[in-house]
Structure 1
Amino acid sequence: MAVASFVLGLVGLLVFNVVLGPLALVLATLALWRGTTRRGRAFLGLALGAADLIVLVSLATSDHTVSWSFGS
């Protein structure tokens, strides 16, 4: 679960952060609660999940939408 939260948080920075961010947060919290041996990955998943939500909120407030693209 710790590795899955890390991967989902990382992918969530680029695409589909509405779902992948909270999912990374939940998986990281569950992994830490169950006492995983990969605590570093779980904390990274927690941080990346939070970063996904921060990116989502900042883009939603600047564009008034929940989608974004690299082009203009």
Structure 2
Amino acid sequence: MRLTAPPSARTGRRDTEGMAVASFVLGLLGLLVLNLVLGPIAIVLAVIALRRDTPRRFRALLGLGLGIADLVVFAALASVHGATSWSIWGG
């Protein structure tokens, strides 16, 4: 007895759309908090979505760019402030 639907091309395409959107959201969120964690996750999701030929290619590319920007922001702030993280309140 099968409890789930058999895999299809439509299911796979929806998965890649979700990965592209998640990459964008995590990359955007990573600019504010947890950039060292969320940046690489956004990059990986974007690369997987692009390799699987997502219909939301632009969103995946934005997620990839934001994930890279997360790491650049982290590196810049770590080198300037000598800290491994930063806070909105400057603490």
- The question of a shared fold, defined as TM-score above 0.5 by the shorter chain, is answered with yes
Residue number in structure 2 paired with 1:56: 74
SS of the residue aligned with 2:54?
coil
The alignment-based identity, stated in percent, is 62
Mapping 1:27-46, distance limit 5 Å = 27-46=45-64
Q: Which residue of 1 is the match for residue 65 of structure 2?
A: 47
Which residue in the other structure is 2:8 paired with? Answer: none
Q: Larger Rg: 1 or 2?
A: 2
TM superposition score normalised by structure 1: 0.96
Alpha carbon RMSD of aligned pairs, Å? 0.8
| TM-score, reference length from structure 2 | 0.76
| Structure-2 residue corresponding to 1:3 | 21
Mapping of residues 3-22 of structure 1, within 5 Å: 3-22=21-40
**Structure 1 residue ranges (4+ consecutive) displaced by more than 4 angstroms after TM superposition:** none
Greater relative CO, 1 or 2 (CA 8 Å, sep 6+): 1
Query: Could you report, residue by residue, the CA deviation over 1:18-60 in whole angstroms, capped at 9, with x for unpaired residues?
Result: 1100000000000000000000000000000000000000000
